A = this chain, B = another copy of it.
Amino acid sequence: MDLLPRDLKQVIVFQNATEDELQNILKNSIIRTVEENEFFFFQGDTAQYLYVLTSGQVKLMQSNPSGQQVNLRTIHPWQMFGALGAVRAEAVYPATAQAMEDSSALAIESSFLHKILETSPQIAFDLMTLMTSYIQEMQARYRELATERVEQRVANALIRLAGQSGVKSRKEAGIELTFSRQDVAEMTGTTLYTISRLLSDWERKGFIETGRERITLLKPHELVRIADGLEK
């Protein structure tokens, strides 16, 4: 699969890059393909590459010393990942990247990224803008986790996922997400049991429809109400 410079324009950080820069990026990168459940990198690995997902779906997660995991973020095509470790020289990845389905990504050398950042203030600025949005999202999720009940957090997570996976998976009736109960639990800081109970409840109420590793949002507005704490 060959990538063209114009494909890279879909990457937010490269949206304002020149044709030359895009060419250059492609020249200094390779495609890596990773099968479902395999890994692009592990937390603690030396950050040699930064990635741009070209197909598939990847989750970024972090685990504590005793092995419990949290999901930090799900990556969709044309999103970057591994950029955090790649910015500082000789840094390590602060998270683990696992493919949720067969995926491939463009791997750009960190050292090359540094050169780009030095020579293109525009790309540096766009990357910085992306980072501020990450920080804000993490702060919001942190506040959620600290102050909101499970119900609200799960509703919020589903809404957020629906927004990120975007229009592409929209069916005539509802937005379809492909996550296991375990995945959702790790995103919201709870357990798969609680998620299962919650989803069953919402399905009974007709807000969603569920299946094995599948959640279809039928009435997103109802979820918004729950997220806002208006229920109960």
Contacts and interface: CB of A to CB of B under 8 A. Distances in A.
B136 A135 contact: no
Given A62-B139, A88-B129, A147 B229 contact: no
Given A128-B128, A135-B134, A136-B94, A143 B87 contact: no
B143 A141 contact: no
Given A128-B87, A135-B131, A145 B145 contact: yes
Nearest to A121: B118
A70 interface: yes
A146 B65 contact: no
Q: How many copies does the complex hold?
A: 2
Contact of A121 (B94, B124, B141, B145): B124
Contact of A229 (B65, B84, B124, B140): B65
Interface in A60-116: 62-66, 68-70, 72, 84, 87-88, 91, 94-95
Interface of A: 62-66, 68-70, 72, 84, 87-88, 91, 94-95, 117-119, 121, 124-125, 127-129, 131-132, 134-136, 138-148, 189, 228-229
